[in-house]
Amino acid sequence: MGITLAIDTSSYVLGVAVLKDGQVAAELTTHMKKNHSLRLMPAVTDVLAELDLSPKDLSRIVVAVGPGSYTGVRIGVTTAKTLAWTLSVPLVGVSSLEVMAQQGRYFQGTVCPIIDARRNRVYTACYSSLGDGELALEGEEQLIERDQLLEHLAEKGQPVLFTGADIALHKDVIFEKLGALAHFSPPSKQLPRPSELAALGEEKQPVQDVHTLVPNYLQLSEAEAKWEEAQRGKADE
CATH class of 97-189: alpha beta
Which residue in 19, 213, 197, 205 sits closest to 97, CA to CA?
A: 197
pLDDT (tens digit, 9 = 90+) per residue, 209-218? 999 999 999 8
pLDDT digits (tens, 9 = 90+) for 212-236: 999 999 875 555 456 556 665 665 5
Residues of the chain with CATH 3.30.420.40: 3-96+192-221, 97-189
Instruction: Tell me the HSE value of 34 on the side-chain side, using a 13 A CA sphere.
Output: 10
- Whether the full predicted model's pTM is greater than 0.85, yes or no, is yes
> Quick check: helix, strand or coil at residue 190?
coil
Whole-number Å distance between alpha carbons of 201 and 90? 10
Fold type of domain 3-96+192-221: Nucleotidyltransferase; domain 5 (3.30.420)
Helix (H, G, I), strand (E, B) or coil at 177: helix
